[in-house]
Amino acid sequence: MNENLKGKVAVITGAGGTICSEVAIDLAKNGVKLALVGRTAEKLEKTEAAIKEIGGECFIFACDVCNSEKVEELADKVYETYGKCDFLVNGAGGNQNAAMPSITQFDEREIDGTLPDGIRGFYDIDMDCFENVIKINTMGSVLPIRAFAKRMARDGGGSIINFASMNSYCPLTRCFAYAMSKAAVVNMTQSFAAYFAPANIRINAIAPGFIANERSKQYLGTPEDGLTPRGQQVINHTPTKRFGKAHDICGCVRWLLDEEASSFVTGVTVPVDGGFLTLSGV
């Protein structure tokens, strides 16, 4: 157990997801009290049960993190329950298939709508979904930062982690909205880190590599059952020759939250990617 984390209070958004559910359980093992946040309570119940099974302390709170009023309600609930908030982990976010074309390059048939059935170009994507992807990945972190940094500042400081992506550095094909928004995460992490430094609030980000989950199996495949062409490209581009596991992120989270271990670290984005960014592919 990390004694520097024991007794601290953390809010984790997206706590029902693959990565942040694992992060929440890992922090609970290190004595952190948790507020588990997600769009629906049902998705959080599995994480809650796992934490309580190991004797951890947590509560769940259904919240649209793009709704400023609900985020303020969340902050009030955390302070009513625990009296403080030391850490905020902004894990809410994601992508939507409807916001993505199914082809990787422009096809002139997009212009007159004659692409074959089942093929979706840029001009066929759902722009409402496109906007929603940008919103959840940006404002879904900005609003919690706004609510909790104000309270952290009153309490003397805290630590915040945002989630970037491999797309933050170089956009993957087809991921227009997701890549745009994850590039913004790196920039806003730097901006807010500089702004809140006088309040003793450190703000950093983690850029996960390709983490295996149920969704990734659909478009990347698995080494056991066979990789898709896209999945094979990822493995070829990853020196460790494997997809990441959610638990691979936990050590970096603990380090960034630990005031003793990372007290002079703020405004950085740490890739946890198996070396993906080290290979140009040439």
Which residues are part of the catalytic machinery?
178
What is the rounded CA–CA span in Å between residue 31 and residue 145?
23
From the list 67, 206, 194, 43, the residue with the least C-alpha distance to 140 is: 67
DSSP 264: T
CB 238 within 8 A of CB 209: yes
Question: Residues for the chain: how many in total?
Answer: 282
CB 161 within 8 A of CB 89: yes
Residue with tokens 């928004």: 181
From the list 4, 41, 47, 52, the residue with the least C-alpha distance to 24 is: 47
Write the DSSP assignment of 34-89 as a string of letters: EEEEESSHHHHHHHHHHHHHTT--EEEEE--TT-HHHHHHHHHHHHHHHS---EEE
